[in-house]
A and B are shown apart, each in its own frame.
Chain A
Amino acid sequence: MSDRKVIDARGSFCPGPLMELIAGMKLAQVGEELELLSTDKGSANDVPEWIRKVGHEILDNREELGVWHIVVKKMK
């Protein structure tokens, strides 16, 4: 999707991928999709955990060449 916003958090130790995603979600509109790029393998678990807890949606969660691509949709 061409208008999907990408949050490139590769190599980010601080604030880190999940914090970058939280910041991005605050600026996003309901229904908007964001793609998080992370080189932190922990993102594969901690991002879905937060997304589920808050009530957004995970659309994709895959690893390619050491980079996790996690696509989420803002639901509220």
Chain B
Amino acid sequence: MKILIVGGGMGGTILANNLARRLPAELKAGKARITMLSASDKHMYQPGLLYLAFGRTTPDELYRDQASLLEPGIKFFVDPVEQFLLDKNQVKTKSGKTYDYDVMVIATGSRPVPETIPGLAEHSETFYTEETAVKMFRRLQGFEGGRVVIAVGVPHKCPMAPLEITFMLHDYFKDRGLLDKVKLHYTYPIGRVHSLENVAKWAAPEFDRLGITYETLFNIKEVDGKAKVVHSEEGTQAPFDLLISIPAHRGMEVIEKNGLGQGGWIPTNRTRLNMEGRDNVFALGDTTNIPISKAGSTAHFEAEALGENIAAMVKLGAPVRDYDGKVFCFIEAGKDRATYAMFDYQNPPQPKEPTRAVHWFKMAYNKLYWVSARGLL
């Protein structure tokens, strides 16, 4: 069975390694083949960008060579797919090569698109790429006080990021002795401060306690850089001296160009993870249109389910389990305290009071990630 994985991010990498560990005999005997096509020879630990924006890590710590993360037996090529020929079970790549498959998994991820909001890219700081995170770090270093507005686009990767960046900004300015000169104002697209009701019930009193003001039902319409005002779709305005944005995201352009899904999101069955209408094409991670958090842990747990199922398809001829919607997200509640939210399709999260222990576990996970990507954790 020829298994083709398109994308070398968290989901694709965990899946490839999971499969290689489940199918050693089949790979050795030539009964299975795992090929990964990626746009880059590097693998970035994206959650680290949050810390980069505060100078708490450096860019080099966020990368590993992709080939070094993959199990022996996985064929890896830096050759991004440009055409998906689903009816022929083929893809064509940038180099002009054609790859056949029996089973394909698309894990191409998502990308921030601040340019879809007038003025946002030019007049806000963000941290969703290495370049913007470093730029935000430098801007924060030079900031001596004023009104800081946090504005959130939809949809966005990492649902906890809006809260985390706000709490971390509070502690950053506190450590610099600037809290009396800084006014933090948090905005959020829906009618509470977080999409998860129980997380919102915890976060709103925290904001009150810390003196952080907030405004809900605020969707960014445009940013007037000259007047330093964010206008919302709802008709309100938020004046700022420093604007921190969580930009809206889209799936990758190649998905849209090939007509696989509006917005770059592939219509995907929420439990079997197959592309709607296709039995041998799967999607995972940010790439899907499943109404679930676009987060690394989502990709991780989906990859584990898919790895078990594709291995079963090789060995038994059919998949064996459903993905249950499991998500686990750490929530940094400042510079040295954290909590977490764990939930699935049936069970909402019950976040606990933040502790230093959970924060340090998150710090440890930032290093353990490379073990996780190798499929060992």
A residues touching B (Cβ–Cβ < 8 Å)? 7-20, 22-23, 26-27, 42, 46, 49-50, 53-54
- Given known pairs A12-B291, A53-B235, A54-B233, the reply for A18 and B346 (CB within 8 Å) is no
Interface centre among A8, A13, A50, A53 (most CB of B within 10 A): A13
* Complexed CA–CA distance, A11 and B197 (Å): 13
The complex places the Cα of A14 from the Cα of B154 at a distance, in Å, of 12
In the bound complex, CA of A54 to CA of B218 (Å): 10
Measured CB to CB, the residues of B under 8 A from A are: 116, 154-155, 159, 189-191, 195-197, 217, 219, 233-235, 248, 262-263, 270, 291-293, 325, 327, 341, 343, 345-346, 348-349
User: For the complex, what is the distance from the CA of A19 to the CA of B159, rounded to whole Å?
Assistant: 11
Q: A11-B346, A14-B327 are in contact. Are A26 and B248 (CB under 8 A)?
A: yes
- 7 further interface pairs, Cβ-Cβ under 8 Å (given A14-B159, A14-B293, A26-B116): A13-B348, A14-B343, A15-B291, A19-B154, A42-B197, A53-B217, A53-B235
The reply to whether A19 and B262 contact each other, CB–CB distance below 8 Å, is: no
CB-defined contacts of A22 to chain B, threshold 8 Å: 154, 189-190, 219
Q: Is the CB of A50 within 8 A of B217?
A: yes
Contact A13 to B343, CB < 8 A, known contacts A19-B190, A46-B190, A53-B235: yes
CB distance from A34 to the nearest CB of B (A): 12
Decide if B190 touches A18 in the complex (CB within 8 Å).
yes
Q: How far is the CA of A9 from the CA of B327 in the complex (A)?
A: 16
**Inter-subunit contact A14/B190 (CB<8 Å):** no
Q: How far is the CA of A19 from the CA of B343 in the complex (A)?
A: 17
B325 neighbours in A (Cβ, 8 Å): 11
Minimum distance in angstroms from A54 CB to a CB of chain B: 5
Least distance between A5 CB and chain B CB atoms (Å): 8
Question: Chain A at the B interface: mostly helix, strand, loop or mixed?
Answer: helix
Shortest Cβ-Cβ A-B pairs, 6 listed = A12-B291, A16-B195, A23-B155, A11-B345, A9-B291, A22-B154
**Is there contact, CB below 8 Å, between A15 and B219?**
no
State A54–B293 Cα separation when bound (angstroms): 24
Please name all residues of chain B whose beta carbon is closer than 8 Å to the beta carbon of A54 when the two chains form the complex: 219, 233-234
Interchain CB contact under 8 A, B191 and A18 = yes
Chain B hits for A20, CB < 8 A: 155, 291
| Complex CA distance for A13 and B343, rounded to whole angstroms | 8
A50-B190 contact in complex given A13-B196, A14-B327, C-beta closer than 8 Å: yes
A9: chain B residues within 8 A (beta carbon): 291
Complex A-B: 9 CB contacts under 8 Å: A11-B345, A14-B327, A16-B190, A22-B154, A22-B190, A26-B116, A26-B154, A26-B248, A50-B234
**A53:B234 contact, CB within 8 angstroms:** yes
Write out the residue numbers on chain A whose beta carbons fall within 8 Å of the beta carbon of B191. 18, 46, 49-50
A40 to chain B, nearest CB (A): 9
Chain A residues, CB < 8 A from B348: 13
The CA of A46 and the CA of B234, in the complex, are separated in Å by 14
Q: A16-B190, A16-B195, A54-B233 are in contact. Are A27 and B262 (CB under 8 A)?
A: yes
Contacts of A26 in B (CB 8 A): 116, 154, 248
CB distance from A63 to the nearest CB of B (A): 19
Cα A73 to Cα B160 in complex, Å, equals 30
Residues of chain A with a CB closer than 8 A to B196's CB: 13-14, 16
CB-based nearest A residue for B196: A14
Residues of chain A lying within 8 A (CB to CB) of residue B233: 54
Cα–Cα distance between A54 and B154 once the two chains are bound (Å): 15
Closest B residue by C-beta to A50: B217
Residues of A within 8 A of B327 (CB): 14
Min C-beta distance of A39 to chain B, whole Å:
10
Distance of B322 from chain A, by nearest CB (Å): 13
In the complex, the chain A residue whose C-beta lies closest to that of B290 is: A12
Docked Cα-Cα span, A26 to B155, in Å, equals: 9
Q: CA A8 – CA B276 in complex, angstroms?
A: 13
Task: Across the interface, name the chain B residue whose C-beta is closest to A54.
Answer: B233
- Tell me, in angstroms, the Cα distance from A25 to B346 when the chains sit together: 26
Contact call A13/B217, Cβ cutoff below 8 A:
no
